[in-house]
Amino acid sequence: MSDIGRRLKELGVELPAAKTPVANYLGTKRSGDLLFVSARVSQIRGEVGSDLTTGEAYQAARETVIHLLAIIKEDVDLDAIESVEKMVGFVRSSRTFTEQPKVIDGASDLLVEIFGKHGRHARTATGVAQLPFGAAVQLELILRLRERA
């Protein structure tokens, strides 16, 4: 079992079947040593601040990372990931909801649980009025792959 595979097991994280995009875009695109990962939305739907609490949305962000890893694993060995460079997190926010960073912490925390210090990343956490499928959270990633991975 791979190192990251073992770590996921320790954390009790099971990767779901990946839903590969059916349109003219890719789940991931390799660019030199970088891997651009297409945004995924949470399976948890709803507007944060009205339908969902900050804590529920934190879980939605955490779960979205698991779905991103499932997509990434279709294209590259998870052990080939050297570090997480950048994450952008969009939170579907009510007019008055301003705790987007606390929501996206759900994703940042899990990335560090999985990848250790290499999971620490630059980040943007922002609020939007609507997301695909009415999801609560949407995350995109830029990863660095080991050379020649």
Indicate whether 98 belongs to the interface with a second copy (CB under 8 A): yes
* CA–CA dist 29, 71 (Å, integer): 11
Indicate whether 33 belongs to the interface with a second copy (CB under 8 A): yes
Pick the binder of a second copy from 28, 42, 52, 67 (CB under 8 A).
28
Indicate whether 147 belongs to the interface with a second copy (CB under 8 A): no
Number of residues that bind a second copy (CB under 8 A): 55
Indicate whether 2 belongs to the interface with a second copy (CB under 8 A): no
Q: Nearest approach, Cβ of 23 to a second copy (angstroms)?
A: 5
Decide whether 78 or 127 has the Cβ nearer to a second copy: 127
Indicate whether 88 belongs to the interface with a second copy (CB under 8 A): yes
The answer to whether 52 touches 60, Cβ cutoff 8 Å, is: yes
Picking from 31, 5, 8, 37, the residue whose alpha carbon sits closest to that of residue 140 is 37
Q: Nearest approach, Cβ of 18 to a second copy (angstroms)?
A: 15
- Considering only residues 99 through 128, tell me which ones interact with a second copy, judged by CB under 8 A: 99-101, 105, 108-109, 111-112, 119-128
Which pairs from 6-15 meet CB under 8 Å and 24+ separation?
A: 7/114, 8/69, 8/114, 11/110, 11/113, 11/114, 13/66, 13/110, 13/114, 14/66, 15/66, 15/69, 15/70, 15/73
Q: Nearest approach, Cβ of 88 to a second copy (angstroms)?
A: 7
Indicate whether 56 belongs to the interface with a second copy (CB under 8 A): no
Three-class DSSP category at 140: strand
Indicate whether 129 belongs to the interface with a second copy (CB under 8 A): yes
- Name the DSSP letter for residue 25: S
